[in-house]
Amino acid sequence: LWSKNTSYSPGSGYVVYSTCSILIEENEDVIEYALRKRDCKIVPLGVDQGVNGFLSYRGKKFTADMKHARRLYPHTHNMDGFFICKLQKLSNAKKTVKKPDLSDDSTSESDENSESNENLT
């Protein structure tokens, strides 16, 4: 959604991400993904209803700016569960995330093959 809709607008702008879900995987995790992949930031929503977005959950840490997101719960706010977060697009730039280098230069491929063949005998 972010890739398709925001790449058409020049420069900055805003995206309000909202779900009718209270699941971390559909809310804070999605926002964290957008922050890692795109040049954007969380900004205040201007809504006082609900409670702040999670800063941590079961050992997972989220950005401190997640406090600007809002969570609404059926049992306390007398409505369906919702999550709302406002992101400011700073540019069209995509962030690149480096993958860890899993290669080990000290071991050659032939050494690995000979070790695995030794284990077969």
Residue 20 among the catalytic residues = yes
Catalytic pick from 20, 79, 90, 93? 20
A 10 A CB-CB count for 26 gives 13
Query: For residue 71, what are the contacts with CB-CB under 8 A and spacing of at least 6?
Result: 22, 27, 50, 51, 52, 53, 54, 81, 82, 83
Could you give the maximum distance between any two Cα atoms of the chain, in Å? 69
Catalytic residues: 20
